[in-house]
Amino acid sequence: MGRVLSDMAAAPCLKVEGLSKRFRVNGHHISALDEVSFEVRSGEVLGILGPSGCGKTTLLNIIAGFMPHDGGRVLMNRRPVTRPGPERGVVFQEDALFPWLTVAENVGFGLRNGDGKAGRRIKVEHMLEMVGLEGYGHYLPRAISGGMKQRVALARVLVLGPAALLMDEPFAALDAQTRADMHQLLISLQRRLEQTVVFVTHDLEEAIKLADRVVVMQKSPGRIRRIFAVDLPRPRNLDSLEFLDLKRSMYESLCGQPPGDSPVLGN
């Protein structure tokens, strides 16, 4: 019994196999994704890191079911992904809360049928508490800050109990302090719910801080350059030697040269 359970925990929850995607721009075909393959285990946090234009957002959009692909396949719990669904909750980069609904109504939006009104309210209140927004249920999105909006965005998908949480640079638009708070929140929620997470970022530190493994991508064509395992104990110390070593080798993989030669990236 115990063996079966541990096998299940290690089983890939999400599988991307030989995924390809081309875009037509001014009559030219651009290969946004070329033969991209990886697996995400249940309960794992996978970071996808790459320069802008490497197809990482396209990759996430295909996994979410928002976009068709040209080759390969995406399997979610062994079933091919063809359309968006609540088992793959998405947190978008920009604010995509419904402005005509209150915070509580936004969080309860996906809980349409079943549960009953009272059941839904309990779930929503519990979820708001988990993301640290108790007492803000009756606010409209325009009345709360950017960080709080992303908390609501997180709550409205986690309340549906998704098999995987997909996030597209969800904290990129936040200030440094708020971003750090959101990292802490995400880490604690991920542990509590044993949530499988796939997130896209262009921020090296964010990738190493949050992820169990980091997929580093390159652009034109969008391919996987290398997959790093982040075997650092949590909570992770951003100044530790191991952290800095990993950051350096990831940087080299990302840019194809040691840090210092190129002025951009890495913050």
The contact set with another protein (CB under 8 A) reads 64-66, 83-86, 88-90, 92, 94, 96, 98-101, 109-110, 112, 140, 156-157, 160
Q: Which of 6, 15, 7 is nearest to 198 (CA)?
A: 15
Task: Kindly tell me which of 172 and 187 has the beta carbon lying closer to another protein.
Answer: 172
CB of 100 to another protein, least distance (A): 4
CB of 86 to another protein, least distance (A): 4
**For the chain, how far is it from start to end, CA to CA, in angstroms?**
47
Task: Kindly tell me which of 23 and 66 has the beta carbon lying closer to another protein.
Answer: 66
**Nearest-angstrom CA–CA distance, 58 and 230:** 24
CB of 26 to another protein, least distance (A): 19
Q: Where are the beta strands (DSSP E) in 85-212?
A: 88-91, 164-168, 196-201
- Cα–Cα distances (Å) from 74 to 80, 84, 91, 223, 226, in that order, read 6, 12, 19, 16, 20
The DSSP output letter for 135 is T
The DSSP output letter for 141 is G
Q: Which of 115, 133, 116 is nearest to 125 (CA)?
A: 133
Q: Are 39 and 14 in contact (CB under 8 A)?
A: yes
Task: Kindly tell me which of 167 and 250 has the beta carbon lying closer to another protein.
Answer: 167
CB of 9 to another protein, least distance (A): 25
Task: Kindly tell me which of 99 and 119 has the beta carbon lying closer to another protein.
Answer: 99
CB of 114 to another protein, least distance (A): 11
Task: Kindly tell me which of 92 and 243 has the beta carbon lying closer to another protein.
Answer: 92
**Nearest-angstrom CA–CA distance, 223 and 232:** 26
For residue 33, the cross-strand partners are 21
CB of 226 to another protein, least distance (A): 30
Task: Kindly tell me which of 56 and 209 has the beta carbon lying closer to another protein.
Answer: 56
